[in-house]
Chain A
Amino acid sequence: MRIALIGLDCGTPGLLFDRYAEEMPTLAALRARSLWGPLESTAPPITVPAWSCMLSGLTPGELGVYGFRNRRDHGYGNLAFATSRAIRAPRLWDLLGQTGRDSVVLGVPGTYPPSPIRGCMVSCFLAPSTEVEFTFPPEVRDEVQQVTGGYTLDVADFRADDKARIAQQVFDMTEQRFALARHLATTRPWDFLAFVDMGPDRLHHGFWKHCVPDHPKHRPGNRYADLFRDYYRALDRHLADFLEVLPDGTTVLVVSDHGGQPMLGGFCFNEWLLREGLLTLSSPPAGPTPIGKAAIDWSRTTAWGDGGYYGRLFLNVEGREPQGTVPARDYETVRDQLIGKLEALVDHEGRPMGTRAFRPQQLYPEVRGVAPDLIVYFGDLRWRAVGSLGLGQGLYTFENDTGPDDANHASQGVFMLAGDGLPSGRADDMSIYDVAPTLQHLFGLPAPPGQRGKVLA
């Protein structure tokens, strides 16, 4: 058995299966012989931890990783980046290595620093630069640099107004990633090859409103209106070139970690907590101030939030946080009250926002590390959570308070699995937790403890 996993970060069902399907003949032909459909992502649907969840079969709660930065302890502000070292569970390449099989891993989020595997690994966009040791074995670095002419970890300076430069870098990064995948596929021994292209994610964040009419700020005929179409045409050509070099009989999986959707605006999470009397400052912010730098009077604070594509709400609990104010016996009552308030939020026009707030314990079979007390999807992720204070725009922001961003994540990604003797056709009940059990099954590996996903094929 030989399997090639082609990861498209933020690959979105509505774009790949519908809107641009006719522009992508290679993907369409692959889909025609695949088991395919939308793939329910992790909660929250965030790149880190989603790829690690996909390839370990475990939830963010079991991994103890809830986003790019996680609280290291219950102090105020002691955050740690979720690097590969935070992922303690074996991922598929680890299991294969234990049975003497080789893997090539390229750009899969959650792989910096690179770890020793049987095969080779080029780590992900969380590598600080290509000056550091970002490959395993280390000598692969020179080969990668030579083949690519300088490996692109990610699009640089993404939050900028020079859209033409950003678009070009996204196209170039995708071309380079597929070219390197082709090189590694044809020069290394492998049973499992997994690579992830971040291009779709960067493209969606940078250009959704230009390209997709479902964004409220879409203007037909704008300069970049055809950028998504052109990008997906190019991606399809790269896909064709990659499939061409795969040995006969290779099983192919095209998969994404989450989808995308238009972002309507930002909800000022901590500004709202201030107004609710749940967050108290010792002095007002002089201007836009990240919550981590705000002068918080912890002795009079019930809750605070971290922003991003989803909101993380933390309660200031007696005996847990250094200056906790919520008695432990009132913890669930306060949490329930907050869920009620959050889910009753209205948008800037007074309409129900459709916010959902989750207790980690209801999402995960185990909650490890320091989880948020509530995971909040403002407007079901159509609004992002703005953690900064002092923006002076009330509760809702629509412009570039932290830079342009057109898209938020959505809970459904894509799945297409094609191989000799495997079933084909559409399925609508697939989960990101099914990926690892399915690939393990195809490789004849037993399921490690804790996995709850099902074998799809």
Chain B
Amino acid sequence: MRRTKFIFACVLVMAVIGTAGAQGAGKKAVPFKFGFSIWGTSDGHGRYVTEATKWAVKAMGGDLVIDTGALSPDAQITSIENLIQAGCKIVSFCAYTGDACIPKIAQLCKDNGVYFVIWDTDITDPKVKQIVEANPYYVGNTNEDQFSTGYDGVAQLAKLGVKNLVLVKYGIGVATCDDREKGALKAAQEKGIKIAYTIIAPEDAKKAMQDVLVSHPEVDGLFVLGGTESYLSPMNSAIAAAGKSGKVRIASIDFSDAMKGMFASKSLDLIYGGHIVTSTFAALMAVNAYYKTPLSAKPYKVHIPYLKLTSSAESEAYYSLVVGSVPPYNADELKKFVKYYNDGLTLDSFQKMVSQYSISDIQARHR
């Protein structure tokens, strides 16, 4: 009898443990409206980032509400107002128009009890940061490591034998571009690469490159620090027209539709981008807060890795596995990023899983 009781107790304990372990799988999604504010969906990045947010919200059982047209601080605020008015309990935006309007957005969210998260940007103004981080509804932000990407780009070009490099900046006083440049300059100094010329936000990219090739015939490397969609293809055609294809090694940051053809013709050596999951993970950070299972008591930042493509095969993998018909993460994989479904989740493990985002990681999971 005693033995029977013991076995029964053991079974009961195991059942309880088993239930706890399988808690995530059995839990029902709590419906919510998720507001997504973006500048537009007609460009590649805007379109893919919106799609990438849809994966997360859909997997969590939420309903995505989109507002396009957040092109100025005023429009950004209008966008958030509309999303809150539409009944959204979480809003997500890119501080594309700068930091200064974020305190107003933070106040709107606080007044309406709405969680908010920022993707693809950092708050750089310390005054704004202090105001926003004091807001209980601010979850945090996602961003990429621009300095390291700039550094790595030049380091990779150095390995390819580049000695005289042309840098292309897409703006002056743009924090993202400046950080990438700082990284590039540090690597150039360390690797003994000479910056032959820096082209800044050219209106006619082809002409600008032609001029540089004439004035600096020693140039053997090109690193586009952003604005790739506008610059890469015209600059490559200037290089080809000068008969220097393959002699001038090319690297770039931010994906462009031109990269597929350029990898095929072997005129592109390296490109960083594909960080469309920046909004996916921002959404999941906010969902954790909405479910009252925040990953941190304070606002936090999650680093999103860039995808690094170096060949035609990797480029094809990107188009089929990342922005193809099947998202790089399925619903079950996305649920692992939410504590409500994954009890053991911590901020560290969240960041660790995010850091694994790469073409090889996606290929492994899709097998």
- A complexed with B: no
